[in-house]
A = this chain, B = another copy of it.
Amino acid sequence: MKIICRKSELQQGVNTVLKAVPSKTTMPILECILIDTTEGIIKLTANDMELGIETVINGDVFDKGKIALDAKLFSEIVRKLPDSEVTIETDDHYKALIRCEKAKFNISGKSGEDFAYLPDIERSNPVTISQFSMKEIIRQTIFSIADNDSNKLMTGELFEISGNQMKVTSLDGHRISIRKIELKDSYTPIKVVVPGKTLSEVSKILSGGVDDPLKIYFTDRHIVFEFDQTTVVSRLIEGEYFRISQMLSNDYETKITINKKELQDCIERASLFVKEGEKKPIVIHIGDSALELKISSAIGSMDEDIDIDKEGKDLTIGFNPKFILDALRVIDNETIDIYLVNPKAPCFIRDADESYIYLILPVNINAGAY
């Protein structure tokens, strides 16, 4: 195999597929990036068997072939090359010679034949969405997936498409995040659970441009993201997702409107009194025109008032500050509405047209103590 391409092209391609290289694996071939030029184009691939990424880079193929190169070493070499033309040549013993200006590197590769190719998936009827929207949807929901595998379904996000609406849901047993977005076209109904890891890696390599399109294909067992020169294939999580509709009530006893940044800053200050791993709640008392936030721990105590607009009853309720902060950090609106029922019922942060809904379970507090 012999190819010549720009260092910048190669680096961008390598960084893209690097997201699918597993950090730990018992199969050394998976720690490699495959360079495949058998079709006359330069295709880079990485695959951890759950998630695979393939990208095509610009450059010239002088000799067709393929080789698998250690991803870590190869990516570091590429990163440190001068910004110039790079030549990669391989011999029959899977030795690769990488040349750039006056620098010459010799590294050992593996046979490309041993590489686990991405599954061949029939692609039809893609859902089209802007890369910007996809990146936003992931950012605004990914924080509330569960981070351990005790319930596999909780480590993924539910994607539901119905008509021209896409709805994405994540939950971890303490909270639920829902984002809805209108699509340009209408589609037949789809309901799949996509691994959280796939979504965070995709989000990192999406350009995020409003005018850059992303095509998503769904099959029974896979999701495929197609954008720019890149294809991402991921397995889906199998099983029936949680039924949450009965939890999503629109009834409330108390509604407040509050400046998002003021509330966020205040809870961040209160978090100073919660040590890592501790489960100290913040206590929120909602009065007529102000919300009073209190926290008290072994380290010290804090309280602060924030002006609010209120409808309905007064209320005292406790929360894990992290769960509220996670939601506030991804909401872009200046003011938000919070809906509450009683100290034991979930609270909702949502906008008028329900483009986002954050449900957060309260923490039991001994109201008498405050």
Contacts and interface: CB of A to CB of B under 8 A. Distances in A.
Interface of A: 73, 76-77, 80-82, 102-108, 265-266, 268-269, 272, 299-306
A104 B268 contact: no
A79 to B, nearest CB: 9
Contact of A304 (B102, B106, B107, B304): B102
B272 A77 contact: yes
6 contacts: A73-B299, A80-B268, A106-B301, A106-B302, A107-B299, A107-B300
Given A73-B299, A299-B73, A304 B103 contact: yes
B73 A300 contact: yes
B303 A82 contact: no
Contacts of A107: 299-300
The 3 tightest CB contacts between A and B, nearest first, are A107-B300, A103-B304, A102-B305
A105 B302 contact: yes
Contacts of A265: 80, 82
Nearest to A299: B73
A322 to B, nearest CB: 15
Given A73-B272, A272-B73, A300 B80 contact: no
A269 B302 CA distance: 52
A297 B103 CA distance: 16
Contacts of A269: 77, 80-81, 103, 105
Contact of A303 (B73, B104, B300): B104
